[in-house]
Amino acid sequence: MANANSPKLPAPREQGAPPRVRFCPSPTGNPHVGLVRTALFNWAFARHSGGTMVFRIEDTDAARDSEESYAQLLDAMRWLGLDWDEGPETGGPHAPYRQSQRMDLYRDVADRLLAGGYAYHCYCSPEELEVRREAARAAGRPSGYDGHCRELTAEQVAAYEAEGRPAIVRFRVPDETITFTDLVRGELTFTPENVPDYGIVRANGAPLYTLVNPVDDALMEITHVLRGEDLLSSTPRQIALYKALIELGLAKDIPAFGHLPYVMGEGNKKLSKRDPQASLNLYRERGFLPEGLLNYLSLLGWSFSADQDVFSVAELVEKFDIADVNANPARFDLKKAEAINADHIRRLDVKAFTEACEPWLRAPYANWEPERFDRAAWEAIAPYAQTRLTVLSDITANVDFLFRDAPVEDEASWAKAMKPGAAELLATAREKLGAADWAGPEPLKEAVLAAGEVHGLKLGKAQAPVRVAVTGRTVGLPLFESLEVLGREKTLARIDAALARLGN
C-alpha cells in the first residue's frame, strides 16, 4: 500500500532534453583523487552538454558515514569549483539529496518489489552460503548465489520463520542474457550464470547500495551514469532492477552507463583511498591550484589533444566528450601533476598569485614572527617567485630570508657552498656590493661577477657563497633580485655574519 512517502512516477522528459548526471559519494574518510576524477568527468559532461549536475550523498551506512566527511565533501567540491544544480544546500525537485533522509521511500520500493514478485525473502545464513560457494568453486561453477530460497513453498517459509531465522530481501534476476553499450567500453554482455540474485535489503531492514543507488537514479531521472570501473560488475544487476522499476511505473528509461578507467598508483596497483598520494587534502595542503589539479586529473583516462596537456577548466568543458575517454587504466604520475600545476601558477596574474600564496605566508607554515612580515617586500619579490614554484607551499622556504633577522641555517647548504676560498670570495663580494649601485639587480650581478674574477671564479661559483650567506640555501629565487629586495644594509650584515662564522 502506497503512503505519503511513496515514490512518484517521474515526469515525462521532453525529446532531446539535456542529460542529467549525478555524483553520489559516500561520506566516509577524506575525499580522494579517484573520487574527484569521477566528479570532474560528470561535471564536465553536464556543463559541456548544457545538462544538469546532481550531487547526491549516499549515507545509508551509519557505521561508516560521518558528518565530518559530509562537510569535507561539500568543502572539496566548492574548493574545486565543481558546482551542482541539485543537491545539498541547493535543493531541487527531487529533494532530499541525502539517502539517510529517504529511508521510507526505499522501504516502499522494496515492498513493491516483493509484492510484484521481483524480489523474495532469503533465509540462508552466511555460513550456509559460504559452504555452498566453496562447493561451487571446487566444482568449477560460478560461486554466486545459487537460488536456494528463490522458490520456497509457503510451508518452507513458515518453517524458517518458526526457527526465527533472519531474512534479507533478494532481487530475482531474470534468467536472461543482459547486453548494454558502455559509453567507454562499447557493447558488453553478461550471461545469466554471471548475474545471480542479489541482496537489496539487510535482515535488519536497512536498504543496501544495490537498491538505493538505482532507485534514486530512476526517481531523479538520471540519464547518464558515469562511474568507476570497479562498479562495472554491478551494472547488469542494476539494469535488471531498472526493468522491474519501469514495469512498476517508477522509472521511465534505463540510463546510459559509462565506466571510467582505474587510476593506478605505485607498483601499478589500483590507487586506493588508503594510499597517501590519493588524498585530496594532501594536494590542498601542498598548495596545488584547483585548476592545476583538475587539469591533471582530467588526463587520467582522457586527452585534450595530442600536443596539449595544459588547459583551463573552460577549455576542458568546451572539449570534453565521454566518447574520448580511454578504457585502459591510467597511471597517477605525481611529477606530471606538479609540472602541470606549475604551469597554472605561471598563468596567474601577479595579483592573483600573491593572493593565492597568502595562506602559506602565515602560521603554521611561516617560520618568522608575524610582525616581521613586510608586505612591500613580498609584493616586490612575488613576480620572481611565481616563475619558480611548483606548488604554492614552496613559497614559504623561498621568501623566509626576507622576514627574519638571519636566514634559516641549512647545514647541507653551508657545507656545499662554504669550501676553502669562500671567505676570501665573500670578503671581496662584500666590498664590491658595498660600492655598487642598488638601483636594480644588474649592478649587483656585476659586483659579484667582478668579485669572482678577482679569485678566478665564474659567476655560478662566485654567487653560491653569497646566496647561502644571505638566504641560507644553495637554491631559491633569483639571487640578485633577492638582494635588491632585501636591501644593502641587511645583505652586507649577513655577509659579515657569514665571514665571522668562517673565522675571517
The neighbour count for residue 312, using CB atoms within 10 Å, is 13
Can you tell me which residue has the cell 551542482?
Answer: 84
Q: Work out whether the CA dihedral 334, 335, 337, 342 comes out positive or negative.
A: positive
CA 337/CA 272 separation, integer angstroms: 18
- CB contact at 8 A, 382 and 351: no
Angle at 372 between CA 369 and CA 378, to 5 degrees: 115
Question: Going by C-beta distance under 8 Å and a sequence separation of 6 or more, which residues neighbour residue 192?
Answer: 173, 175, 176, 177
**Phi, then psi, of 326 in degrees rounded to 5:** -90, 135
C-alpha cell at position 452: 669572482
Nearest to 234, CA basis, from 284, 162, 178, 273: 178
The neighbour count for residue 174, using CB atoms within 10 Å, is 12
Q: What are the percentages of helix, strand and coil residues in the chain, rounded to 5?
A: 50, 10, 40
Laid out side by side, the sheet with 20-23 consists of 52-55, 20-23, 224-228, 256-260
Helices marked H in 227-333 — which ranges?
235-247, 280-286, 290-298, 313-319
- Active-site residue list: 273
CA 146/CA 254 separation, integer angstroms: 27
Q: What is the DSSP letter of 447?
A: H
Can you tell me which residue has the cell 577524506?
Answer: 30
